[in-house]
Structure 1
Amino acid sequence: MKHPLQRAATATAVVSLVLAAAACGKTGSASSSSSASPSSGGSAVSASGSIGLLLPENTTTRYEQFDKPYFEAKVKQLAPNVTVNYANAGGSAQVQAQQVQTMINEGVKVIVVDPQDSTQIKASVDAAHAKGIKVVSYDRLAEGPVDAYVSFDNVRVGQLQGTGLIDALGSKASPSAKIVEIDGAQSDPNAAQFKSGFQGAVKGKLDIAYDASGQWLPDVAAQKATAAINQLGAHNIAGFYSANDEMAAGIATSMKNAGLSGLPLTGQDAQLDAIQRIVAGTQSFTIYKAYKPEADSAAQMAVDLLTGQSTASIANTTQTNGSGNKVPADLLTPVLVNKDNIKSTVVADGLWTIPQICTPTYAAACKSAGLE
């Protein structure tokens, strides 16, 4: 699989032209495992109809700021006459089920859905399939007869988090070093894969002394971290595993309240506040999963399915979902970002600019990190 930054310059140029206003100057990009080029040229250009895009929540910054505009721009590029019907579930699986039904009633030809709950969405996928509507699962793998899936190699994400935590511990890493593990929501199959990769990477090398779900919520993660500190004793903890940056924010607050500093803290998603914590030294690293190639791949799959083309040129592997369906898949490559490579990853890719990162609060830390 190609390195995620190989086509950063090209991707950034495309996004800066198409999405300058929509993305407010933030044009994150990276390489996909596929080229995401039109597979059927004329048929895509002349195609008509509508594609539904359903995203799970709007608490995380990525969906409204990046995934939605990138997806819409790629569909526009590939099939100018095709419209995108958009809905955000706002964190509710029930709302998302209603949104799928609305899309079915509106006559969309393809539904691209990032399921709020991968199991509960099955009934909606079945309903769409019964009407002949193709379904692309985005970022999380839905249950049911899904036609295609795009995400990142989630086990690899967890492995990077595990090896990154060991590296951050340095000489303090040992089989007796007690780690607090805060995982994602149990309803999210990605969370299970992150956990599997992480635990596989640290098995026999670190002691996972406390393990709980933070439900992808910073407040819940903070509560779990505080419970762990009270249970284990602050001085007995060597580091914290957070499955993503949202929860890392809550955990960092709990660490600060407990007087803990200098301990490793992991993350994922390369959110702006996480990059700032990395610069400031209160978070060790994050995992960067570039949004543009994922959105581009989903858009290409959707247009291919709309025009009756195969997704094989993009979906070069398969994944089996929770209901046993074998789904063609495109799995992209994640990248670990720490203080040493912020400039060559998220800044070079245009995801975040140095002025966005280096606000007055972080000016001194940025200077020390060479971000000027």
Structure 2
Amino acid sequence: MRLRRRMTALPVAAAVVAAVTLIAACSSSNSSSSSSGTGTGTANSTASAASGTTTIGVDLTYNSTAFWAAYINYETQYAAQLHIKLLGPLLAAANASLQNQQIQDLVNEGAKAIIVNPETATSLGPAIAYASAHHVQLISVDTIVGVGKVYMVVRASNTIYGLDACAYISSKVKSGYVLDLEGDLTSSNGADRTNAFDQCMTANDPNVHILKDPTVWTEATAVTDAQNAVNAYGSDLKAIYAQWSSPDLGVLPLLASKHLTGKVLVVSDDGVPFEMCDISKGSLDASQSQPANLYAYWALKYALDAANGVTLKAGDPGGGAPALQMVTYAGDSNLGDPMVAPFVTKTGQTFNVTPVDGLPGTVTSTAVSDAQLWGNVYGSAHGGVCSAQNAS
């Protein structure tokens, strides 16, 4: 199957990005790292009704990466446009029990729907049950849910992420070692990226040995693993696939210090501004542009739909995809908006691979100069993709 993928400027989301100046990540009155307490639900509901706003809760696993910082910024911006009063974002800090409790607190505080970035695909069971009992629905961002029913999953295909990384690396590396800095394999994102990458590399690059290092999304672990691989394999290390962007901050300086820039390929995921800068400079080879802007905008739109009792079904037009689809994990199926995430390289290229697991056999990348890439839009609004404030 042939699939040509480019960054698509969706009419609503693109207009939002172009028309509105980005504002601070979140105000102190709307942000907290833990539950904001109890006893405020009636006051929140009354205030929302008086102002014509809808109260939406937000609970995230992380805010400590460039991607999630940008997501929160976009979410705050779009909430103001959509007349949404945000409760949160609360931060679970990778603690599934805390996240379940926080979601219960958001329900009790008057949230009409809740946006959540789950700790794992199967960790939200208690929260889903509690919210459902109180007629509140959840919208999952960036992670498939396999432990109950949510209103919508807002997420791009992470199997495509692994395929794209493989397509790039296998087109240029034919021997030696490739380091895969895996995310959390208990999460659908880490598992999907890893499985697709491994299957594709086995089919397309059988003479390359894959070094599989699980990092549980911990930057320090990823950088240490890269250091160990460089020390152990030297010039036989031909490429590194970092399954998210944060390791770049340590891996790229490491390679530069060993005079390996340009000799060891580096592919990562997220599409944050500093990746756009590094691709332009040639220190990073490619990145998947996971659309933080579309994730934020459409999660809020679906939360409004959920709060207002709108019924959606597979086949309806998607926000980031041509059509909504059912997505399945661990036996549970939920409605999803499988967004298109561009694969970014210095210049646009086409790669052909032996297809695996129903994935496409052709990958077409987007040039880093494309002004519509969210990392470029966000970077330009914050001093430029290579500015100090976008360097972490």
Range class of TM-score, shorter chain: 0.7 to 0.9
Counterpart for residue 17 of structure 2? 15
**Aligned equivalents of 1:11 and 1:110: distance in 2?**
21
| Paired residues for 1:37-52 under 5 Å | 49-52=54-57
Q: Cα offset for 1:9? A: 7.7
**Does the residue aligned with 1:282 lie in a helix, a strand or coil?**
coil
Do the aligned partners of 1:56 and 1:88 also contact (CA within 8 Å) in 2?
A: yes
Q: Aligned letter for 2:327?
A: Q
| Paired residues for 1:252-267 under 5 Å | 252-262=252-262, 263-267=264-268
> Larger deviation: 191-200 or 274-283?
274-283
Q: Cα offset for 1:3? A: 5.7
| Paired residues for 1:83-122 under 5 Å | 83-86=85-88, 87-122=90-125
Do the aligned partners of 1:12 and 1:350 also contact (CA within 8 Å) in 2?
A: no
Tell me, yes or no, if structure 1 residue 330 matches structure 2 residue 337: yes
For structure 1, which runs of at least 5 residues remain unmatched after alignment?
A: 25-45, 361-372
Distance 1:181 1:205, change over 3 A: same
Counterpart for residue 329 of structure 2? 321
**Aligned equivalents of 1:200 and 1:158: distance in 2?**
9
Distance 1:260 1:6, change over 3 A: closer
Do the aligned partners of 1:74 and 1:296 also contact (CA within 8 Å) in 2?
A: yes
Counterpart for residue 200 of structure 2? 201
**Does the residue aligned with 1:319 lie in a helix, a strand or coil?**
strand
Q: Cα offset for 1:146? A: 1.9
Count of paired positions: 330
Counterpart for residue 6 of structure 1? 8
Counterpart for residue 284 of structure 1? 285
**Does the residue aligned with 1:14 lie in a helix, a strand or coil?**
helix
**Aligned equivalents of 1:190 and 1:23: distance in 2?**
24
Q: Cα offset for 1:75? A: 4.5
Q: Cα offset for 1:56? A: 1.4
Percent identity of paired positions between Structure 1 and Structure 2: 21
Tell me, yes or no, if structure 1 residue 130 matches structure 2 residue 133: yes
> When the two structures are superposed, what TM-score results if normalisation uses the length of structure 1?
0.79
For structure 2, which runs of at least 5 residues remain unmatched after alignment?
A: 27-50, 348-366
Distance 1:147 1:21, change over 3 A: closer
Distance 1:127 1:74, change over 3 A: same
> How far does the alpha carbon of each residue in 1:24-66 deviate from its partner, in whole angstroms, 9 at most, with x for none?
9xxxxxxxxxxxxxxxxxxxxx9754211112111112223x3
Tell me, yes or no, if structure 1 residue 179 matches structure 2 residue 178: yes
**Aligned equivalents of 1:350 and 1:2: distance in 2?**
23
Counterpart for residue 344 of structure 1? 370
**Aligned equivalents of 2:85 and 2:149: distance in 1?**
24
Q: Aligned letter for 1:83?
A: K
| Paired residues for 1:150-161 under 5 Å | 150-161=154-165
> How far does the alpha carbon of each residue in 1:141-171 deviate from its partner, in whole angstroms, 9 at most, with x for none?
233222211100111111111112233x2xx
Counterpart for residue 223 of structure 2? 222
**Aligned equivalents of 1:83 and 1:292: distance in 2?**
18
**Does the residue aligned with 2:191 lie in a helix, a strand or coil?**
helix
Counterpart for residue 164 of structure 1? 168
**Aligned equivalents of 1:348 and 1:125: distance in 2?**
33
**Does the residue aligned with 2:379 lie in a helix, a strand or coil?**
coil
> How far does the alpha carbon of each residue in 1:212-261 deviate from its partner, in whole angstroms, 9 at most, with x for none?
11222221101112232344x21221111111211233333443454433
Do the aligned partners of 2:273 and 2:376 also contact (CA within 8 Å) in 1?
A: no
Do the aligned partners of 2:265 and 2:284 also contact (CA within 8 Å) in 1?
A: yes
Distance 1:295 1:348, change over 3 A: closer
Q: Aligned letter for 1:106?
A: E
Q: Aligned letter for 2:326?
A: T
Do the aligned partners of 1:301 and 1:311 also contact (CA within 8 Å) in 2?
A: no
**Aligned equivalents of 2:241 and 2:297: distance in 1?**
30
> How far does the alpha carbon of each residue in 1:253-301 deviate from its partner, in whole angstroms, 9 at most, with x for none?
4434544332101101112222232233221111112222222221221
**Aligned equivalents of 1:308 and 1:359: distance in 2?**
43
Residue of 47, 52, 57 corresponding to 2:62: 57
The CA RMSD measured in Å over matched residues stands at 3.0
User: Higher helix fraction: Structure 1 or Structure 2?
Assistant: 1
**Aligned equivalents of 1:2 and 1:18: distance in 2?**
30
Do the aligned partners of 1:89 and 1:95 also contact (CA within 8 Å) in 2?
A: yes
> When the two structures are superposed, what TM-score results if normalisation uses the length of structure 2?
0.75
Counterpart for residue 357 of structure 1? 385
Do the aligned partners of 1:75 and 1:303 also contact (CA within 8 Å) in 2?
A: no
**Aligned equivalents of 2:299 and 2:60: distance in 1?**
12
